[in-house]
Amino acid sequence: MAEGRRGDAVELFLAAAVDMPAEYVTPMRESPIWLVFEAVAHTLPYDAAVMGDTMSGDPSTLKKWASVTTPTIVIDGGASPAWARNAVQALADILPNARRRTLNGQTHDVAPEVLAPVLAEFFTR
């Protein structure tokens, strides 16, 4: 980021932190979404600071969150990759007042019209 290489920062994040295969990242650089990713690339250090070691794939890193008793909804898309669904389940298992919801047919890029009623129900109950 200090060198202004926003696209390279996004690529590194996707490859190293998200563990996205290069064969997916490379074509993304040519897609319209890449400009959006580059526009928010400066926030990647904040993601890293907040997530810390929790993105390692080791569920034991989530244990520090076991004392959070705030009611929480943990949501995943039924069409998301297995690693994402597994991460959501691991977090739901750790948080004592978590409720997991899987949005059938959705990926990480969930449709707002599918997500909105789930959030409205959660926040009004």
Q: What is the span of the domain harbouring residue 81?
A: 56-125
Indicate if 76 and 95 belong to the same structural domain.
Answer: yes
Indicate if 104 and 124 belong to the same structural domain.
Answer: yes
Indicate if 44 and 64 belong to the same structural domain.
Answer: no
Indicate if 65 and 121 belong to the same structural domain.
Answer: yes
Q: What's the pLDDT score for residue 21?
A: 84
Query: What pLDDT digit, counting tens, does each position of 5-61 carry?
Result: 999 999 998 888 777 888 989 999 999 999 999 999 999 989 888 877 777 777 788
Indicate if 69 and 27 belong to the same structural domain.
Answer: no
Number of domain units in the chain: 2
Indicate if 64 and 122 belong to the same structural domain.
Answer: yes
Indicate if 41 and 72 belong to the same structural domain.
Answer: no
- What are the phi and psi torsion angles at 20 (to 5°)? -80, 130
The C-alpha atoms of residue 105 and residue 122 are separated, in whole angstroms, by 20
Query: What pLDDT digit, counting tens, does each position of 64-120 carry?
Result: 889 999 999 999 999 988 888 988 999 999 999 999 999 999 988 899 999 999 999
Indicate if 36 and 62 belong to the same structural domain.
Answer: no
The C-alpha atoms of residue 49 and residue 23 are separated, in whole angstroms, by 27
The last residue of a domain, from among 15, 37, 52 = 52
